[in-house]
Structure 1
């Protein structure tokens, strides 16, 4: 059964091509019916003293068949007109009954398949069928005197009822089946449009999510390296006159940091162009590169202690990358905001958990609540069902601690 109630949907009218086809079909059927009329008269079929004159018979054949030319444009009017003309033609003794009977069945089918108002269409079809059976019964009563006997009359009546019930039921059910098929196709088209709209929306969201991810990655890359470069440049400025050797070392660090930042940016921009470049960029970032972050922090003048506790275990690439970025962001914030002297970075492989602990001795404000860095850390932790703590350390300074569960197994 269709999921859309019949009263809430109307089948669109016929196309221009369908209307043209109806005209040619109606004219062709009318011509064939007129030809069949002459054949029937020549063969003596349905001959009777009550038969109308030839011009009148031609008239009734045309009145019955020509409405087919607009059958899909006005299915209810056509069905009623053909039914009335069919009965009138038989009453007046038209000798063409084969084609016109088929035309009546076609009209009932068309009303079921193309009727705009389903309730009216059903009532009209059932009414026409009921009238036709009433006319059949009346014809048997009127002409029963011409039949050979009661047994023959009963046989003919049963045969006529069975045959007509079969044809009328077939036309009625086929009309409903075609209409319901068109309704289902309409529903499928609507669902297809909704799916397309949903896919477009999902694609837009995916693009937005990818942009946010890339923006976060760019922030992590640029903020860290630029912060280190800024500190090195400041050290170079202070030592330029008093300690040229130290100034040259600082400039070398600035140069190296700029080169590294440019390489990172190239990898990230490559991720925008191809999935392979993106995968390559991901594979080059991971928890095994945390010592590089500690080294760059040392080059910036901080006293850095880096330690790994527990037995390192293989981690999923996405988790390894998230761990790297969180430590990188925490160290970057220390360099930018904390004015710290020392930095302690610890990685702990606990029982089924990875813990990252970054603590400095600065003034206790290294991560601002509204910064992109903190938002990025929260997102990375949330993606991996982890937890994030940040805030002033009880012993002074600032602390960032993240925990991630993992399923690859680890030792305490």
Structure 2
């Protein structure tokens, strides 16, 4: 069974929650109003002498019947099935006793039948209990008609229609009862379905709210990861170069002031570059959503790769840089990721590889941009905290690219990334 089928099955087995205290208070009010209506009808009918069955028991007994038929409605939503059976049985008993009023007992029976359809939690019992009560009522109606036929034919002095008066009386009673019970049955089901749909909407709204919260949390985590990755890329590389150059300057400061001065000049320039990139990153983070372009114009790209190579050379590493294929514009996001991969790879070479030489290659393929950084170092990244390689994988994954990183058979380490340029 598919997801839709399972969900439909779940809602078909839905159980309406029990009535709230406020709804139970409403039921008490409805029962009292129905009783007051029955008392008013009883007074009027007894005052007119217009009894439904031609006669009626004593007034006190009629009062007892009215209370017995209406007061169970106080519990109609709490115990709908029991109330229907009680009111149905009392309705037949009251007619058998020939109480004077038939209107308010019929209204009480309608309310009880409707409530079972709208509130009974066991839908099988709700259906068959109403069917049983309706069949019992029609059986009682049929019995009453037979008793009428068995008696001497009553006079119909004003009858002028095309049908036999007795037949017309039977058809009229049958039609009224069909409409009465079908209405109670139908509107009860409609109320139950409406409550189920409302509960479904509430549940879906809650699921949507939870989903939005989860998406928000995911977006926050993703943004934190992106910020951490960008900060690592910006800071790690430049600080590594500054550390190497500062160490070189310290070692040769007394022996060769010119070389030390050049190294310190590189430290100064690298620090400024790092500060500019950090300001650019912080500017994006602080800007309003509407002020942030799709790609920040200050983001570095392939044109800045020679600067990375120069910085690595200044750190004492011999670096070859080659471009293969016909250079062409690539998406800025792809260019930025390629730049960051080369930056991180060279940083690891300078800091951890113990290498003397590195090779940076950029290849423009038909539908991809490929960058590769190799070195002749130890062939591992011992000393690295692993965040750089993780950041590379995350950047490549964003574009659906591939990353290969590991020792080379001939010695050294290789990082190769393939980034699609056509989607």
**TM-score, with structure 2 as normaliser:** 0.86
Residue number in structure 1 paired with 2:81? 76
Asked whether 1:212 is paired with 2:217, we answer no
Asked whether 1:284 is paired with 2:289, we answer no
C-alpha distance in 2, partners of 1:137/1:393?
98
Residue number in structure 2 paired with 1:379? 394
Residue number in structure 2 paired with 1:258? 271
Structure 1 residues 383 and 282, CA gap change in structure 2 (3 angstroms): farther
The equivalences for 1:5-404 within 5 A come to 8-46=13-51, 50-144=55-149, 145=151, 146-148=153-155, 151-274=164-287, 275=289, 276=291, 281=296, 283-365=298-380, 371-391=386-406, 397-404=412-419
Kindly indicate whether the alpha-carbon contact (under 8 Å) linking 1:227 and 1:336 is maintained by their aligned counterparts in 2: yes
CA deviation after TM superposition for structure 1 residue 380, in Å: 2.6
5+ residue gaps, structure 1 = none
C-alpha distance in 2, partners of 1:201/1:53?
70
SS in 2 for 1:3: helix
Kindly indicate whether the alpha-carbon contact (under 8 Å) linking 1:109 and 1:172 is maintained by their aligned counterparts in 2: yes
CA deviation after TM superposition for structure 1 residue 303, in Å: 3.6
CA deviation after TM superposition for structure 1 residue 132, in Å: 0.9
C-alpha distance in 2, partners of 1:376/1:48?
91
CA deviation after TM superposition for structure 1 residue 363, in Å: 4.5
CA deviation after TM superposition for structure 1 residue 98, in Å: 1.6
For residues 257-292 of structure 1, the C-alpha deviation after alignment (integer angstroms, 9 at most, x for no partner) is 223223333444455545556966575222222122
CA deviation after TM superposition for structure 1 residue 159, in Å: 2.0
Moved more, 11-20 or 325-334: 11-20
Pairwise CA RMSD: 2.9
C-alpha distance in 1, partners of 2:262/2:37?
105
Residue number in structure 1 paired with 2:160? none
SS in 2 for 1:346: strand
Structure 1 residues 243 and 49, CA gap change in structure 2 (3 angstroms): closer
Kindly indicate whether the alpha-carbon contact (under 8 Å) linking 2:84 and 2:116 is maintained by their aligned counterparts in 1: yes
Structure 1 residues 285 and 309, CA gap change in structure 2 (3 angstroms): same
5+ residue gaps, structure 2 = 157-162
Moved more, 7-16 or 129-138: 7-16
C-alpha distance in 2, partners of 1:98/1:71?
19
For residues 343-387 of structure 1, the C-alpha deviation after alignment (integer angstroms, 9 at most, x for no partner) is 432322232332223233444446889832223323333333333
**TM-score, with structure 1 as normaliser:** 0.88
CA deviation after TM superposition for structure 1 residue 397, in Å: 4.5
